[in-house]
Structures are given as C-alpha cells and as structure tokens.
Amino acid sequence: MAEVRFNIYRLNPETGGDGRFQEYKVECEKGDTVLDCLNKIKGEQDGTVTYRMSCRSAICGSCAMRICGHTRLACSTQVSGLLEIYEEITLEPLQNFPVIKDLVVDMKAYWEKIEAIMPYMVPDAGEPVPEKERLQSPEQFDTVFEVATCIRCSACVSDCTSLEADDKFLAPAALAKSFRFAGDSRDAADKERLTELVKEGGIWDCVRCYECTQVCPKDVRPAEHIIQLREKALNNQMEKSVGARHVLGFMESVGHSGQLDEGKLPMFAVKNIGAKISMVPIGIKMFLKGKLPLKHKPIPGAEDVQRIYKKLEGE
C-alpha cells in the first residue's frame, strides 16, 4: 500500500494554547488498521503522540476516537476502507469530553452518569434468596442481550447531538446501561429506576437522531433501548413530563384525525401558563406560513387510522 497522510489532533496541556493538527506520513501495509498506523507513528516518528489502547481486539473500547469525522474503534478500522472514501485520515479526540492530551479525553463525567442510573440488579425483596443464583430463561436474557454486549467505548456519547447541546443529558451509554437492568426479568426496581430517568436530562431529552446506534461498534442500538425505557415509563403511568405529554398528545392527535395538529400539540405538552404564552409568537409565525389552519380537519381515510389506533390502544 502507498504512503498515507494522517492529520492528528495535538494538544499539550503543559505548553498550553489551542489544539492543532499535525501531519504524519506512514507506509501502510495491506490489512493495517488505524491503530497499527498510530503505533508506527509513535514508535518510529514521534513518541509524544498520545492515545489510549489496550486489547487491540475491539473488546476493551479504549481506542475509540474520531476518525474522519465519525467515532470508531481505531483497532478495528481498516485504513484501506477509509482510503476508498477519503484522501487522508483525520484523527481527533472524542467529542463531548474535555481533552487531556492529544487523543486522550477525561472520562470522569461519563462514569458519573453510569453510576447515577443504578447500574446494578435489585431483586424482589419478597422472594426467597436462592441458594446459588437467580435464573432466567434464554428468551428472557435475549431482551437485554444487546445492551449486555456494550464495551464502554463511549462512541455513542461522543457523537450524541443531545449531549452536545446539554451536558446534563445522561447520554446513550448510561441510558442503554439502565435498560440492561430495567429490562432484566430478575430486576424489581422499575419504578425507582424510571422515576429518575423521566426527570430533566433523562430519557425524554433524546432527540432520536440515531447517531448513537449508527456509530456503535457492537450493535448495541442505544436509541432503540431509550425508546423501550420510554414505553416502560408510560406503562407505569409516568406521564407528567413534557416528553411524555408530547408523545401522548401526538398519539391523540393522529388517532383523532389521521394527522398531527401542530397547533394543539405544544399546548397539550406544556402545562405552565408562562411557557404557553411564550409560544404565541411562534404560533403566529406558523399560522402565517400556513402550518396552522383555523380548523384541524380529519384527512381522507382517517377512519382507518382511527381503527388502527384503537386496536393498538386496546393492546
């Protein structure tokens, strides 16, 4: 394979200043991964280049970094595949984390959020303690199998757009970890766990961009499990949050007319009078652009939508 250009983000806290990119050229061989090339750079060109690595087998998650604009594992990302799309390879530290040095970030907030979601099993206090272990069937374990394969690489957290806008958001890794226990047949702390997750920064603050699912190297699908947590919350009558009311309002609107009533939905979701008043200017703009008709009418064939809605509601 020919010579490959690597642009690596460099930041030295000892010298201060802003980060910069430094170019390196590497003679890559067939089958080389990004981590292989990083090791060549560190071992043969510049020993000051700093990054994390451990297993080199896509198990530990240590080498997660931004590679050509998306978070990936350096140890499992083939250079040849990148060169089919990019002329050079750009390496940056994970987003949404403070940078310590070069490609190494501070994971403290990440682990604090993992700790905040009760990352442990809470058995039913009324059940007798088993002599050996608490059993479950293969079918019951299948419910949480995906989230159990998470390797804590934080790729989903790095590319989370909600966290980028609000650092109080628990982020997909912690929420997926929460489903690992909330979805487990042996856990008995659903309400206690969900009570915390429906608060600000929890499950309703996910904007469902699905970037976390797209970048996950283990197909954990965090976005889908956040949706399952929302379903659990609604099934437990936790309907007071704006997010829950938004979902219920959406369902009611579509179930009634077959289409969304964009004027009624915000009023249904928000109960605070001051917040409702603050939406008036937005409502006027929507009306002037034709998005708020004076009368919300059912669409043709709405009875079919209503029939489906009633069937699903009954189930």
Per-residue pLDDT tens for 50-68? 999 999 999 999 999 999 9
Question: How much of the chain, in percent, has pLDDT values that exceed 90?
Answer: 67
Looking at residue 150, its pLDDT comes to 96
Per-residue CA distances from 293 to 247, 267, 283, 297 (Å): 22, 15, 11, 9
Higher per-residue confidence, 285 vs 206? 206
Is residue 138 located within the same domain as residue 228? Answer: yes
Of 74, 105, 136, the last residue of a domain is 105
Is residue 16 located within the same domain as residue 58? Answer: yes
Is residue 201 located within the same domain as residue 254? Answer: no
Count of the separate structural domains present in the chain: 3
Is residue 90 located within the same domain as residue 129? Answer: no
Out of 93-97, 204-208, 307-311, least confident range: 307-311
- Quick: pLDDT tens for 15-51: 877 899 999 999 999 999 999 999 999 999 999 999 9
Fill in the amino acid letter for 123.
P
Higher per-residue confidence, 311 vs 229? 229
| Cα gap 41→49, rounded to integer Å | 8
Looking at residue 5, its pLDDT comes to 97
Instruction: Identify the domain containing residue 27 by its residue range.
Output: 3-105
- Quick: pLDDT tens for 105-164: 999 999 999 999 999 999 888 888 888 888 899 999 999 999 999 999 999 999 999 999
Q: For residue 232, name the pLDDT band (cuts at 50, 70, 90).
A: very high
Strand 104-105 and strand 99-101: the pairing is: antiparallel
- Quick: pLDDT tens for 149-192: 999 999 999 999 999 999 999 999 999 999 999 999 999 998 99
Backbone angles phi, psi at 32, to 5 degrees: -65, 140
Mean pLDDT (the chain) is: 91
Is the pLDDT assigned to residue 294 strictly greater than 70?
A: no
DSSP conformation letters of 201-265: TSGGG-----HHHHH-TT---HHHHHHHHHHHHHHTT---SHHHHHHHHHHHHHHHHSS--TTHH
Is residue 78 located within the same domain as residue 153? Answer: no
Largest CA distance in the chain: 71
Of 181, 204, 235, the last residue of a domain is 235
Is the pLDDT assigned to residue 244 strictly greater than 90?
A: no
Of 191, 211, 235, the last residue of a domain is 235
Looking at residue 1, its pLDDT comes to 63
Is residue 113 located within the same domain as residue 100? Answer: no
Is residue 73 located within the same domain as residue 122? Answer: no
Is residue 215 located within the same domain as residue 187? Answer: yes
pTM equals 0.85
Residues making up the chain, counted from first to last: 315
| Cα gap 69→79, rounded to integer Å | 14
Q: For residue 289, name the pLDDT band (cuts at 50, 70, 90).
A: confident
Looking at residue 301, its pLDDT comes to 83
Out of 33-47, 206-220, 255-269, least confident range: 255-269
